[in-house]
Amino acid sequence: MKKYDYLIVGSGLFGAVFAHKAKLAGKSCLIIDKRNHKGGNIYCENVEGINVHKYGAHIFHTNDKFIWDFVNSFVEFNRYTNSPVANYNGEIYNLPFNMNTFNKLWGVITPKEAQEHIKNQIKELNIYNPSNLEEQALSLVGTDIFNKLIKEYTEKQWGRECKDLPAFIIKRLPVRFTYDNNYFNDKYQGIPIGGYNKLIDGLLEGIEIQLDTDYFSNREYFDSLAENTVFTGKIDEYYDFQYGKLSYRSLRFETEVLDNENYQGNAVVNYTSKNEPYTRIIEHKHFEFGTQSKTVVTKEYSLEASSNSEPYYPINDDENNELYRKYKKLADEEKNVIFGGRLAEYKYYDMHQVIGSALKKSRDIFGL
């Protein structure tokens, strides 16, 4: 008999939701995390009384009432609605592209006028079979939106010209013919009042956790502690990179405290011109309608993925997906190991999706 029923590697949303359900099912769990805090990428750091989203802006949104009620049972969510704006060389445009954006670009007032404008721009381009991202985007939204709001932003994100990027990266571009600046279409959205740490604390209440503890520092020892393992780290690392490394896009965050009550008037401002090296500035207090006398802002820079950088976004191109399939085959053969979450499944998951996936897994195993 081993000491625990479950060793859970990673205290992010997948690990935390699974641990919560396992505990309800009467199972004993030990969570380990190599970081010095719990919560994975939703962790917030308190600076000047402001919850700083340390690993990038996190806005909770879902269409699923069950998941919304589930998270609200741990912490109440506020009414924050994501309405980012774009700053193109000092000109401000609403996102996602909607009637406010079109009015600012062309002075059009009705949806019909905006539709005509876009249609005419697309027609003049004569692009029938887009062969790269530039042609793809132009054929979807026309010249003005592409030049001011997509081109240079995308080039900063990928570190390459749009002409040299494959068309498949942009399958569709949401264009809205209403005066609606709400970025998400989901029924429910918001930010936990008091920050995401409250959600994680609620999920992990009464569960043993060891921080600053890397599973790979002594995997034989950790395996000896529990009957089963839930692994939410990198799947390629679990298998010693035996088939090669999966690629990720990374980010660099530059955070500063400003002696200013309100720096940019919005939580998220995208910088869509190449004249600024960063892609976004996040002003964290606006997620929670903060009234503190100071503010904290984070500039977000896109990084080419390298083996040393923090893995943020999986690059799900054919080559990486094929590599992932090989690791998945090994994972499927494991008897007592569950692979879950964005790193172990090599998948871009929003928070509600990762919660849904952990709930499903625990329902399959514990029936609750």
Residues with a catalytic annotation lie at 172, 176, 249, 280, 300, 348, 350
Q: Any contact of residue 356 with ligand FDA (CB under 6 A)? A: no
> Smaller CB distance to ligand FDA: residue 102 or 222?
222
Stretch that binds ligand FDA, among 73-81, 85-93, 136-144, 346-354 (CB under 6 A): 346-354
User: For residues 91 and 317, which CB has a smaller minimum distance to ligand FDA in the complex?
Assistant: 317
Quick one: DSSP state of residue 146? I
Instruction: Using the minimum distance from each CB to ligand FDA, give the nearer residue, 128 or 221.
Output: 221
Q: In terms of residues, how long is the chain?
A: 368
DSSP-assigned beta bridge partners for residue 341? none
Least separation, in Å, of the C-beta of 105 and ligand FDA?
26
Question: Nearest to residue 287, comparing CAs of 83, 38, 74?
Answer: 83
According to CB under 6 A, which residues from 211 to 230 bind ligand FDA? Answer: 214-216
Among 19, 138, 235, 354, binds ligand FDA (CB under 6 A): 354
Q: What CA dihedral angle connects 293, 296, 297 and 303, to 10 degrees?
A: 180
What torsion do the CA atoms of 185, 188, 189, 195 make, to the nearest 10 degrees? -160
Instruction: Give min distance, CB of 12 to ligand FDA, in A.
Output: 2
Alpha helices in the chain (DSSP H): 13-24, 65-72, 99-106, 111-125, 133-141, 143-145, 151-158, 196-203, 219-225, 235-238, 318-333, 351-366
Closest-CA residue to 197 (of 74, 344, 300, 67)? 74
User: For residues 225 and 74, what is the distance between their CA atoms, to the nearest angstrom?
Assistant: 29
Q: Which stretch binds ligand FDA (CB under 6 A): 10-18, 84-92, 188-196, 263-271?
A: 10-18
Of 9, 22, 50, 140, the residue at the interface with ligand FDA (CB under 6 A) is 9
Q: Copy the structure tokens of residue 48.
A: 């000047």
DSSP alpha helix (H) spans, 29-179: 65-72, 99-106, 111-125, 133-141, 143-145, 151-158
**Nearest-approach distance from CB 111 to ligand FDA, in angstroms:** 28
**Residues forming beta bridges with residue 297, ordered by sequence position:** 256, 283
Per-residue binding letters, 18-47, with ligand FDA (x by CB under 6 A): --------------xxxx----xxx-----
> What distance, in Å, lies between the first and last C-alpha atoms of the chain?
25
Which residues are bridge partners to 190 per DSSP?
A: 60
Q: Which position among 15, 84, 314, 356 is part of the footprint of ligand FDA (CB under 6 A)? A: 15
Closest C-alpha to 312, from 263, 262, 248, 235: 248
Closer to ligand FDA by CB, 140 or 343: give it. 343
CB of 122 to ligand FDA, least distance (A): 30
For residue 174 the two structure tokens come to 């949401």
For residue 324, give the nearest of 303, 334, 339 by alpha carbon.
339
Tokens matching residue 140: 């979807």
Helix (H), strand (E) at residue 243: none
Count of residues engaged in binding ligand FDA, rule: CB under 6 A: 35
Tell the smallest beta-carbon distance from residue 314 to ligand FDA (Å). Answer: 10
Nearer Cβ to ligand FDA (56/202): 56
- Among residues 190 and 341, whose Cβ is nearest to ligand FDA? 341
| Residue window 117-156: x/- pattern of binding to ligand FDA, with contact defined by CB under 6 A | ----------------------------------------
Q: Does 341 bind ligand FDA (CB under 6 A)?
A: yes
Q: Cβ 343 to ligand FDA, closest distance in Å?
A: 6
Distance in Å, CB of 170 to ligand FDA, minimum:
19
47 or 354: CB nearest ligand FDA: 354
The site for ligand FDA (CB under 6 A) is made up of 9-15, 32-35, 40-42, 55-60, 214-216, 232-233, 251, 312, 341-343, 349-352, 354
